[in-house]
Amino acid sequence: MSGTPSNHPFGNTAPAVGFFDSGVGGLAVWREFVRLAPDAPTLYVADQAHVPYGPRSPEEIRCFAEAITRFLLSQGVCLIVVASHTISAAALWPLREMFQEVPFIGIEPAVKPAAARTRTGVIGVLGTFGTLNGPLMARVVERFARQAQIIPRVCSGWVEQVEEGLLEGTEAEARIRQHLDPVLQAGADVLVLACTHYTFLAPLIRRLIDPQIALIDPAPAVARRAAEVWQACAQGIDPWASSHRFLTTGDPARFQAQLRRLIGWDGPVERLYWDPQGTLRAA
């Protein structure tokens, strides 16, 4: 893949799809989405100045999410993918309330498919503090898994590990085992990845678990839903050349290297700033 520099905002009239996350996790959803909708222009915002979001309060996450949404809308997106469980848990409902004309696609812990799959009745849900203690998690467990035993595990450090690019090797393995082993010891035969960053740890996790244990990653299902909604907004518009923009509130050179390593994207990265009023501004 190579980056085509785009004019502001997209150099075409196609409605674009906005994605955001605290960092690189949402790229797991973005990657699936562009496979399904290769013509769609996209814009991805990583708030790496504030990563990780997991231990932050829902109020703080809602403020960040609202400002990022305003920025995405100023750039001409027609659809916003909240490519994060933590942000969906804290802010999806308030965002839908606040921006009623905007379609938002969020992510909930994939407890429903896990409940259909488990034989032992024990489901491990791997996520951040915000996700596992948020209302969305409580709701999905209540709706879909009342009969199951849920083992929620806050996998502290995994988001930072993915941001650092520590996906393989002895140290990566030790950090994964610290959270994985207690969940396996509790008898879980299905593991839910309830944080988009963890998709990038899935190859290592798969090697560490029995092949009988199912690992559920919701990224493809979320991308499918986003592609359907995008097809509906893009209907009737002439074909265009797709363009992708990547923006970070952190270090653009670092994000560029992460994009190359994680999704094979080689292109420019734009810098965003938080101003003292909490508004997101382009450089």
Applying CB under 6 A, among 25, 58, 124, 252 the residue interacting with ligand DGL is 25
Applying CB under 6 A, among 84, 242, 248, 249 the residue interacting with ligand DGL is 84
Which residues in the 53-82 window bind ligand DGL by CB under 6 A?
53-54
Piece of 17-25, 142-150, 169-177, 272-280 that binds ligand DGL (CB under 6 A): 17-25
- To the nearest whole angstrom, how small is the minimum distance from the Cβ of residue 56 to ligand DGL? 8
Which residues in the 174-193 window bind ligand DGL by CB under 6 A?
none
User: Binding of ligand DGL at residue 250 (CB under 6 A)?
Assistant: no
Total residues at the site for ligand DGL (CB under 6 A)?
16
User: Binding of ligand DGL at residue 51 (CB under 6 A)?
Assistant: yes
Question: Within 13 Å of residue 239, how many CA atoms lie on the same side as its CB?
Answer: 4
Helix, coil or strand: residue 266 = strand
**Across the strands, what pairs with 80?**
18, 104
User: Binding of ligand DGL at residue 131 (CB under 6 A)?
Assistant: yes
DSSP 91-123: HHHHHHHH-TTS-EE-----HHHHHHH-SSSEE
User: Binding of ligand DGL at residue 106 (CB under 6 A)?
Assistant: no
User: 57 — phi, psi (to 5°)?
Assistant: -75, 155
- To the nearest whole angstrom, how small is the minimum distance from the Cβ of residue 161 to ligand DGL? 11
User: Binding of ligand DGL at residue 85 (CB under 6 A)?
Assistant: yes
> CB under 8 Å to 226, separation ≥6 — which residues?
17, 29, 33, 37, 79, 81, 105
Distance (Å, whole) CA 144 – CA 140: 6
What is the Cα gyration radius of the chain? Answer: 18
Helix, coil or strand: residue 253 = helix
Which residues in the 197-236 window bind ligand DGL by CB under 6 A?
197
- To the nearest whole angstrom, how small is the minimum distance from the Cβ of residue 231 to ligand DGL? 25
Distance (Å, whole) CA 115 – CA 7: 46
- To the nearest whole angstrom, how small is the minimum distance from the Cβ of residue 110 to ligand DGL? 12
Nearer to ligand DGL by Cβ, of 6 and 86: the residue is 86
User: Binding of ligand DGL at residue 22 (CB under 6 A)?
Assistant: yes
- To the nearest whole angstrom, how small is the minimum distance from the Cβ of residue 198 to ligand DGL? 8
User: Binding of ligand DGL at residue 52 (CB under 6 A)?
Assistant: yes
Which residues in the 259-278 window bind ligand DGL by CB under 6 A?
none
Burial state string for 142-159 with b = 16 or more CB within 10 A and e = fewer than 16: eebbeebebbbbbbeebb
Distance (Å, whole) CA 7 – CA 41: 12
Question: Of 25, 64, 63, 67, which Cα lies nearest the Cα of 44?
Answer: 25
Binding mask 134-173 for ligand DGL (x = CB under 6 A): -------------------------x--------------
Residue with tokens 């309330």: 97
What are the residues binding ligand DGL (CB under 6 A)? 21-22, 25, 51-54, 84-86, 128, 131, 159, 195-197
